[in-house]
Amino acid sequence: MSKIIDENADLLKRLEEFGLTDKEARVYVALLPYRDIGSSKIIRATGLHGQFVYDALEKLEQKGLAKHVVQNGRKKFSANTPNRILSLIEEKKLAAQSVVRQLQERFVGAHEQDFEVYQGDSAFIAHQMELLRRAPEGSTYDVIASQTERYMMTLEEYGMAEEYEILRRERNISIRYLGAESQRETLSNREKEWFNWTYKIFPGLGVGLMSIEILPETVSFVVYGDTILDFTLTSKEVADGYREFFNAAWNLAAR
């Protein structure tokens, strides 16, 4: 019983992180197993005061997470698909991007170098997806000695591997990978399987904990420790400089 309670508490907390209030989350979870349920049953299931339940149901309907029908003059409620939560997040993201664009125009440091740190696997994956969305269509990523197995494992763990590749294909983003001899078999297989992905082997290069990712306007230094740590510098001048270095190493590398 305690495990179920703990799981529910964790689920409710996660729903609050996605923008629901505590009471909205409790009512939504209570709705999920039923179809066309009366408010009195929801009150009993949640232990909330009736007015709190009515208010939460109204807010959930406004958010598209609940619906009702009228049967014999009484409202009966059902939950809408949990996939609606993804739409809510996307709507908030689009709204946030609009605000950020307006604020960026006023930002005094808009033309300065920007340095950010992303700590933890989930923060790293979210940042990777954002970089991919922001990258100009048809651009190229240059990567030096990444831990490719750990990278893909992390994407898959968060269910983002397929979405990442679909988005990369849609935006026609190419990847050039400068790797180590110890990676040759893995890299060869990856080149056959992945879209616009190629590699070369640089003599004497090893694969440590850190990799360098050079994007059109950013350079990321990624440390693959117990959790991933990503240091990203945004500066076109710096990115261009690192790309010159990469091109020189690429021309010296072999297949």
pLDDT band at 107 (very low <50, low <70, confident <90, very high): low
CA atoms within 13 A on the CB side of 92: 11
Q: What is the pLDDT of residues 23-34, one digit of tens each?
A: 999 999 999 888
- The structure's pTM equals 0.58
Mean pLDDT of 38-65: 91
- Whether the per-residue pLDDT at 122 is higher than 80: the answer is yes
Mean pLDDT of 40-62: 91
Domain boundaries, the chain: 2-84, 113-252
pLDDT, position 113: 64
Q: Does domain 113-252 have CATH number 3.40.718.10?
A: no
Q: What is the pLDDT of residues 171-183, one digit of tens each?
A: 999 999 998 888 8
- Whether the per-residue pLDDT at 1 is higher than 50: the answer is no
Q: Does domain 2-84 have CATH number 1.10.10.10?
A: yes
Same fold, 2-84 and 113-252: no
- Whether the per-residue pLDDT at 65 is higher than 80: the answer is yes
